[in-house]
Amino acid sequence: MTAQCTEFLHFQGETLSLCTNPLGDYLEAAGSPLKFYSTSTACWRGYVGTWAIEGGRLYLVKLNGCVRTASGIADVNLASLFPDYPDGVFAHWFTGQLRCPKGALLKYVHGGYSSSYEQDLLIDVQRGVVVQERLVVNGAAEPGAKPGYAMAGFTLFGRDQDV
Amino acid sequence: MRHLSALEWWGVHLRMLTSPAQAEQLGEVTDPLGRAPALPFGHLHSGWRAFLGKQEAAYSLWYFEVPDGDAAHAQRLRYRGFAWVKARKVQAEFIFEWG
């Protein structure tokens, strides 16, 4: 187990860590020709997406990832996956809850997105449209604790290494 | 396309016999910023077309909903989609929404 790097969410003027992967099911269902390649144990999904909520809707606005090709490992971006929508993609396939941890770390768990933080911003989304948001207070960290998403050790893979 | 492992169990979630035209109404996607195709099921349209192409004789189209398997979140959606059914067995499925 390794704590996973987050996605990012632009929301109300802030860039937040996002502990939800709205693209995952899309990739599986859409039969994407891109097969993402993990370059680190901290990012088994092989990509990091940047999302934005604009006008009450969830959009994928940036993607950085790696894929395996016949000639090796290549970098890919949003245009690689959605060539007709290089500036943003409406995530109409996603219904569920976005979780954005805020504040300082309360309890570290070295796996997935399992660590807990002082607050969680929870945003409920239905077919890509925001229906509700709320801030849940989980506790208070020690005085002086540094805010932000935390990850302990992980392993980087070479680009020519089978994983 | 995701294939669920227990199709017999999954059959209990079939909700409504429908038609491709009705399904496409449900799958209408519009976006004021034009960031999705104005086609049934938007970015999933090619998957929908592929699913329609799997229709064979005596297939019927059903709408399904699968709630979250976690009892604590029983009201939450897990999947919504459509299935081709023949002789009470699911032959193919198309999922257009995930929880």
pLDDT at B10 over 60: no
pLDDT single digits (tens) A38-48: 888 889 999 99
The helix/strand/coil state of B81 is strand
The answer on pLDDT for A161 being more than 90 is no
Chosen from A60, A89, A95 to mutate, greatest number of chain B CBs within 10 A: A95
Position with higher pLDDT, A62 vs A110: A62
In this complex, is the C-beta atom of A51 within 8 Å of any C-beta atom belonging to chain B? no
Total Cβ atoms within 10 A of residue B65: 14
User: Is A107 within the bounds of a domain?
Assistant: yes
Total number of domains in chain A: 1
Would you tell me which residues 87-146 of chain A have a C-beta closer than 8 angstroms to some C-beta of chain B?
87-90, 92-96, 127
Chain A residues touching B80 at Cβ < 8 A: 95
Measured from the Cβ of residue B12, the count of other Cβ atoms closer than 10 Å reads 9
Q: B43 vs A95: CB contact, 8 Å cut-off?
A: no
Residues A141 and A104 sit within 8 Å (Cβ to Cβ)? yes
pLDDT score for B1: 44
Interface touch A26/B44, C-beta < 8 Å: yes
- Report whether pLDDT(A54) > 70: yes
Which pLDDT does position B45 carry in this prediction? 94
Residue A73 resides in a domain: yes
Q: Looking at the complex, does the CB of residue B36 fall below 8 Å from at least one CB of chain A?
A: yes
Q: How close A18 comes to chain B (CA, Å)? A: 16
Query: Which residue of B26, B31, B51, B80 is the best one to mutate when testing the A interface, meaning the one whose CB has the most A CBs within 10 A?
Result: B31
CA distance B76 to chain A (A): 8
Cβ contacts below 8 Å, chain A against chain B, sum to 68
Reported as a single tens digit per residue, the pLDDT across A64-113 is 999 988 888 899 999 999 999 999 999 999 999 999 999 998 988 888 89
Residue written as token pair 């770390």: A105
Mean pLDDT, all residues of chain B: 85
Instruction: Give me the pLDDT at residue A100, please.
Output: 97
User: B74 to chain A nearest CA, in Å?
Assistant: 13
Measured in angstroms, the CA of A94 and the nearest CA of chain B are apart by: 6
Encode B25-42: b = buried (16+ Cβ within 10 Å), e = exposed: eebebebeeebbbebbbb
B29 interfacial to chain A (CB closer than 8 Å): yes
Query: What residues make up the domain containing A101?
Result: 7-137
Question: Of all residues in chain B, what percent carry a pLDDT higher than 90?
Answer: 62
pLDDT at position A17 over 80: yes
- On the question of pLDDT at B5 being above 70, the answer is no
| Residue A2 domain flag | no
Q: Out of A64-68, A120-124, B8-12, pick the least confident.
A: B8-12
Prediction ipTM score: 0.84
- What's the CA gap between A156 and B29, in Å, rounded? 40
Mean pLDDT of chain A: 90
- For residue A155, is it within any domain? no
Confidence label for B8 from pLDDT (cuts 50, 70 and 90): very low
SS3 content of chain A, % helix, strand, coil (to 5): 5, 45, 45
Return the minimum-mean-pLDDT range out of A102-106, A147-151, B87-91.
Answer: A147-151
pLDDT at A128 (0 to 100):
96
**Tokens, residue B74:** 């029983």
pLDDT tens by residue, B62-78: 999 887 766 566 567 77
